[in-house]
Each structure stands twice: as structure tokens, then as C-alpha cells.
Amino acid sequence: MSETPKNNENSKQKQLEQFRVNDANKKLTTNQGLKVSEDGLSLTAGKRGPTLMEDFHFREKVTHFDHERIPERVVHARGTAAHGEFEVYESMKPYTKAKFLQDPNVRTPVFVRFSTVVGSRGSADTVRDVRGFATKFYTEEGNYDLVANNMPVFFIQDGIKFPDIVHAIKPEPHNEIPQASGAHDTFWDFVANNQESAHQVMWLMSDRAIPRSFRMMQGFGIHAFRFVNDQGKAHFVKFHWIPKLGVHSLVWDEAEKIAGKNPDFNRQDLFDAIEMGDFPEYELGVQIIEEKDEFAFDFDILDPTKIWPEEDVPLKIIGKLTLNKNVDNFFAETEQVAFHPGHIVPGIDFTNDPLLQGRLFSYTDTQLIRLGGPNFHEIPINKPVCPFHNNQRDGYHRQTINKGKVSYNNNSMAAHTPAPTTEEEGGFVHYQEKVEGSVVQARSESFNDHFSQPKLFWNSMSPSEKQHIIDAFSFEVGRVKDKSVRQQVVDMFANVDLAMAAEIANNLGETPPTAEESTVTKASPALSQENTNKTPVGRKIGVILHNGFHDAEVKDILQRLNLAGVAYEIISDKQGVVTGKSKDDLMVDHTFSTTDPVLYDAIYIAGGKDVNEKFYKNANYFIMEAFKHYKAIGATHDGIAWLEVNQMIESPGVVEGNGKSFVEKFLQDIAKHRHWDRNVV
Ligand code: HDE
């Protein structure tokens, strides 16, 4: 086991390097190292005879193959991950003694896994779902895992209900339908009969559930945790990740189509960005509440179905995460990484949030079956970069060779070692919160208000965001067959907003609800994606070209777009090259059939000479789809004709012209992300 590097910069990469193997240009051997002379023919009795038992190479190869799969995660099965680094901007010493939050010069290695929750490992990326955002910090005091989601609240308040919500939302057990979707009876039956779910359901029906990119998604630790400083003083804390590129979403029609056109859409986007050196960045924000203010709010700060509105508890930005390296092997790293909210370091501690308490049990337990035993911490991706020593021994796949005969405490034969460390020397000491109470199965009444914050969320939405929520409810509950469940859902959400529920009821053909109007008028502007950072950086556009295009001008435009951080792909009717009017070429990345408008943030059409009818129609489809999905559309030269025919000129987010001013206006329109003020029927 390696000793702690003094500066842990890249320490994880150095450690992983010992395990990386490149098989290229090597001789083929068995797992025992025996060089193999034949790999395509098994050993048989005669050229047309049966295979012989004796063929150990055949048996080893096929047996290993037969055992290649491990159980997928029971939730968050579909995911993708990357390596990176975290830096703190200023010392957090006043609040926490966690070493990785003290020194702005320290870069802590991290591994981040993004995921959907409900679908199985091979399901599509762009389904309506919560996204996981799990970060493992390899600190010099041990691994710290911030196992977060892209929504700041959860469906339930108590860990004991987790199997229920998951059973309800997973495919129904009699026919395993539908895949990766909450649009079915059992999920909505659960919702209507567990009203604490109202807040997260509002988020799930919002655009947050269909992120444009993992690079454009927030992360939330959800629970109240504790920061503890070196004086033993504690503060309540909530963790937020804020993407530098802003928080952006797809539109539902687009998300559904992408699920077919490129089910790997989000995973590909992250991988490609990192490969191109466009490293995704997220700032870490904390909301801090003093212990004396534990009861100062009109909600219980321990309730995981509640946010701490940023207007009441400001967000303090304390550091930055940069993802800068893709994995070398998906299974070894992404599939085998094991997160656990209970992996903490001195200076960070738990609270009595009953959901968090439930999680503290579940995560190790699930690794035991998924990774096949208690030694999963020895798998390279899970191994801390600091030394670890204890008296735990044996078990499946044990790799450490513990020397000596002592594996117990207390002992004299090894001079009482490995020995515990005092708090002063960095030993973890649980926060000594005073706890009193009778042993009960009951919840504090302070957890009972299930509708004020969903209403706060609703009040904070822009008109288009509100419409999307109504559309999403109408779609999801519209798939429910049980009439009673549909009505129960409508009645439940009338407690959030009466007019919203009435519109949903109308779309569903259910009876309009009759609840009392909510009295909550407060809004939290931080919740609306309209108020997020808007930039063209990180966007990808489709460029439609035909032979005879204005090469010099178009190339100049593409270069300017590229300089502004926009990636592009050239689309035409044939693979190979398109040749401009001055005989300058551009390589075609895609034909109309190998790509689709839903895969781009904007479309730029420069056209060309003498397009045939098929080209014309295909290009038209790209423009019409982009228009329908409220995306920026740019046209220059021969491309402008398409805008004229479709009467798009002067529509919001549609820009035509030439040269520098075209680029500037087009970039602004790309940055806006979507043009909701466009008239789309
Ligand atoms: Fe998880 N969750 N969870 N969860 N969770 C798992 O652990 C669980 C919850 C989250 O990329 C499992 O290793 C319970 C909240 C993420 O590998 C499992 C409860 C939040 C990931 C588990 C919750 C999360 C998981 C499945 C209620 C956001 C993916 C595989 C008490 C703050 C991590 C695994 C990865 C994974 C249990 C609630 C986030 C079964 C019992 C709240 C991001 O242990």
C-alpha cells in the first residue's frame, strides 16, 4: 500500500497508473501467462469431431466471458463518469476543519458519476427523470463522497419508504413495462398516496428532468449536513454544484426523439467535450445555517422535501470542480465505482434527516451484492489515496497481503497497533449532538406541510416553464390507465395551484378539482432556469452545406463561431467533401440520414448551388424541427431562401445576413438557448 503523497495533486492518477494495462502489441496469453498458439479454433478430436474437455484455453476464455456481467445498480444503473480535480477558493476554516477545504493551493482529485435513476443500464439518456451527480473526493484524510442529485428535494422523508417509491416508479412487475419512465399507473398511485412527494414531483414535471447536458446541470446534496470546525463548533450546511455553462434543458418532443436517434446523447456530449479539451466546470456553493437558527424557518431544515430558499439562506460559492479526463475503461471505473454518503472526513458530519439516516445503511449493503463482497474498497477506482490500516481481513477477492499474525485489538504483540488516532491528530469523532426522546415510529409535525414549497416552485417559474409543467403532467398522467388514480393526482396538485390542476384535469378529461386556493405568494427567482447563465460556449450546431457554397465567407463564419466556443458539424447529402464556389473544400461529418436536427443546439444553413429536391426537403426538415424546438436558426447566402419559403424571417431567434454582424447576432441567439417567444403551433 502506498504512503500518502505530500501534495495530493494527481495522486489518484498516479495510483491508477499502476493498474492500467495496454494489451496492444503484446503476445496473447492465458490468465496464467501461458503464451497461446491458437485463439480461433478449439481443440477437437479430428477436424470434424467434438470439442475436448482438455482445451483449457477454450474453457478459460468462455468461462470468463460467461461471468462478465455483474448486477446493475438497483437505482442509477445508467451512468457515465469522468475524472477531475477540485479546488477551494478560500479557506473554509471558520466552518469546517475538512483538510480539502482549507488551502486554495491544493487540488483534490475527484471522480464524478452522472446517472439517470429509473432506467436500466442500457436505457436512453434523455428520459424524464432525476439525474444523479455523485462525486468522490480522494482527500488526504480519506475518501469523501458527495452523492447528489440534480434536484434539491426528494420524494420521501424517510429511508424506510425508499423500496416503495422505487418499486412504484420502476417498470411494473407483471410485464416490465415501461422502461425508464414514470408515466404509468403505479408511480402516480404512489404519488397520490404519499403526498410528501408533491415537491419533487413538481421538479420532475419541470424542464429540470430533461437536461440538455450533464455539463449544464446543477447538483444538490439535498440533505442538511454539518460542517464542524477545529473548535468543535457546528453549522448546518447544504451543498450545491452550479455549472459554469448555466442550467439548460431539452424540450420534451426533442428529448423523446433523441432517445431513439442517439440514446447516448448525454454520455456522448460529456465524453466529447472532455476529449476536445472543453473541460466542464462546476462551482461548489454552500448554504450555511447557524445552530441557533435551527428552528427559525417556516419549514423544518432537516426535511429533505424542502429547499432552503436562496433568498433566505444565501449561497456562498467556495470552490470549483473541473472534469478533465475520461475513463480508460468503463467497467473498471464507471461501473465499479462505489459511492456512499457515509464516506465522510473530519469536519463534515450528518444530521438527523431521516432520509439521510436511511441512506447511511443502504449504500455499503448494495455494494456487497453488486461488487461481490466486502473488499470493494480495494478496487482501484475506490481505493483512497491515503494509507489505510485496520484489522479487517479476508473475504472474496482480497488483494492486500497483510503481514504479521496480529489482526485484533487490543493487542500487545503489535504494540497496540494499528492504533486509533486522537481528534487533535485527525481522528474522526462523531459530532456530539445532544439527543433525547422516546423510542417511537412517528414523525415531527414540522415535516407535515407538503404543499407550500411546491407552490413556491410554481410561483418561481416563467410562463413557458409553467406551460411545460402542465404539458408534462398531462403526458405522464395521461398514460395512467386507472381513472381513480388520475383524479387523485389532479385533486392532490390542486393543493399546489388550483388553476394548474384545473388545466391538467381539462387535458385529462377528469373532473376539475375543488381545493382551496394556496395562500403562498412567495417566489424564488433562483429556481427559474430563465435566470441562469446564458452563453454560446459548449453548444453544438449543425451546418447545412451543398456544393457551390460561398466557401471563403462560410469558413470565416465557422471560424468565428468556433472561437466563441461553439462546435459544429457539417451536414450534406453525401459523405466526403463539399466543394465551395472557389473550389475550397469542407469535410462532411454527417449526411441527412446519419444525424438529426434534435442533436444540435442550432442550425446554420448556407446552402449551395443547384440543390435537388431531396436535398431541399431534407434541409427543410432540419430547419422546421429546429424552429419547432425553439432553437436558433442562422442562414447566409443561398440558405436564406429556406427562411423565406418558410416565412421565418424576423421570427425570434432566426437570423440571416452575412459577415461579422451575422455571427454576433447568431451567437446571441444561440446563447439564449431557446426562443420561447416564437410562434410555434
Ligand atoms: Fe441513492 N442509492 N438512495 N439517493 N443514490 C444508490 O447505491 C438510496 C437518495 C444517489 O453513481 C444505490 O451504489 C436510499 C437521495 C446517487 O454510483 C443505493 C435512499 C439522493 C446514486 C441507494 C436514497 C441519492 C445513488 C444504488 C433513501 C440524492 C448513484 C447503487 C434513503 C441526494 C451513485 C448504489 C452512483 C445510488 C439507496 C436516496 C443519490 C441502493 C435507500 C436523497 C447519485 O444504495
Tell whether residue 162 is among the known ligand binding residues: yes
Domain ranges of the chain: 42-71, 79-150+211-382, 160-173+188-193+201-207+452-533, 534-671
Mean pLDDT for the stretch of residues 635-643: 96
In the predicted structure, residue 228 carries a pLDDT above the cut 90: yes
Yes or no: say if 68 and 97 are a contact pair by the CB < 8 Å rule. Answer: no
Q: What tens digit of pLDDT does each residue of 287-321 get?
A: 999 999 999 999 999 999 999 999 999 999 999 99
Mean pLDDT for the stretch of residues 85-98: 98
Strands (DSSP E) contained in 169-280 are 219-220, 225-228, 234-243
Q: What tens digit of pLDDT does each residue of 474-511 get?
A: 999 999 999 999 999 999 999 999 999 999 999 999 99
* 391 labelled catalytic: no
In the predicted structure, residue 7 carries a pLDDT above the cut 50: no
CA of 117 to the centre of ligand 1 (A): 9
In the predicted structure, residue 5 carries a pLDDT above the cut 80: no
3-class state of residue 14 by DSSP: helix
Question: What local confidence, expressed as pLDDT, does residue 80 receive?
Answer: 98
Mean pLDDT for the stretch of residues 662-679: 96
3-class secondary structure per residue, 297-317: CCCCCCCCCCCCCCCCCCEEE
Quick one: 160-173+188-193+201-207+452-533 is in which CATH superfamily?
Catalase, four-helical domain (1.20.1370.20)
**Residues whose CB falls within 8 Å of the CB of residue 292, separated by 6 or more in sequence, listed in order:** none
Pocket test for ligand 1, best of 147, 217, 223, 366 (most atoms within 8 A of CB): 147
Residue 226 pLDDT class (50, 70, 90 cuts)? very high
Tell whether residue 359 is among the known ligand binding residues: yes
In the predicted structure, residue 1 carries a pLDDT above the cut 80: no
**Residues whose CB falls within 8 Å of the CB of residue 277, separated by 6 or more in sequence, listed in order:** none
Question: What local confidence, expressed as pLDDT, does residue 6 receive?
Answer: 40
Pocket test for ligand 1, best of 240, 339, 376 (most atoms within 8 A of CB): 339
- Cβ of 360 below 6 Å from ligand 1: no
Residue 679 pLDDT class (50, 70, 90 cuts)? confident
Using CA atoms, how far apart are residues 522 and 395, in angstroms rounded to an integer? 55
Question: For 79-150+211-382, CATH number?
Answer: 2.40.180.10
Question: What local confidence, expressed as pLDDT, does residue 9 receive?
Answer: 52
- Cβ of 138 below 6 Å from ligand 1: no
Yes or no: say if 200 and 305 are a contact pair by the CB < 8 Å rule. Answer: yes
CA-atom Rg of the chain in angstroms: 28
- What are the DSSP calls for 560-584, one per residue? HHHHTT-EEEEEESSSSEEE-TTS-
Residue with cell string 444525424: 595
Helices (H), 461-534: 463-478, 483-493, 498-508
Sequence letter at residue 249:
S
In the predicted structure, residue 631 carries a pLDDT above the cut 90: yes
Is-above-0.90 flag for pTM?
Answer: yes
Q: Give the closest residue (by CA) to ligand 1 atom 9.
A: 359
Yes or no: say if 673 and 534 are a contact pair by the CB < 8 Å rule. Answer: yes
Question: For 534-671, CATH number?
Answer: 3.40.50.880
Using CA atoms, how far apart are residues 152 and 479, in angstroms rounded to an integer? 26
Q: What tens digit of pLDDT does each residue of 578-597 get?
A: 999 999 999 999 999 999 99
* 149 labelled catalytic: yes
CA of 59 to the centre of ligand 1 (A): 38
Question: What local confidence, expressed as pLDDT, does residue 4 receive?
Answer: 39
Using CA atoms, how far apart are residues 234 and 197, in angstroms rounded to an integer? 30
Q: What are the CB-based long-range contacts (under 8 Å, 24+) for 368-373?
A: 369/71, 370/70, 370/71, 370/72, 370/73, 370/338, 371/70, 371/336, 371/338, 372/70, 372/396, 372/397, 373/397
Tell whether residue 78 is among the known ligand binding residues: no
Question: What local confidence, expressed as pLDDT, does residue 659 receive?
Answer: 77
Q: Which of 149, 262, 266, 618 is catalytic?
A: 149
Q: What tens digit of pLDDT does each residue of 342-393 get?
A: 999 999 999 999 999 999 999 999 999 999 999 999 999 999 999 999 999 9
Residue with cell string 453548444: 539
Distances (CA, A) of 220 to 74, 360, 401, 461: 21, 17, 39, 19
Using CA atoms, how far apart are residues 499 and 517, in angstroms rounded to an integer? 9
One fold for 79-150+211-382 and 534-671: no
Mean pLDDT for the stretch of residues 271-279: 97
Question: What local confidence, expressed as pLDDT, does residue 428 receive?
Answer: 98
Q: Are strands 348-349 and 540-545 parallel, antiparallel or unpaired?
A: unpaired
**What angle (nearest 5°) sits at the alpha carbon of residue 453, between those of residues 448 and 456?**
155
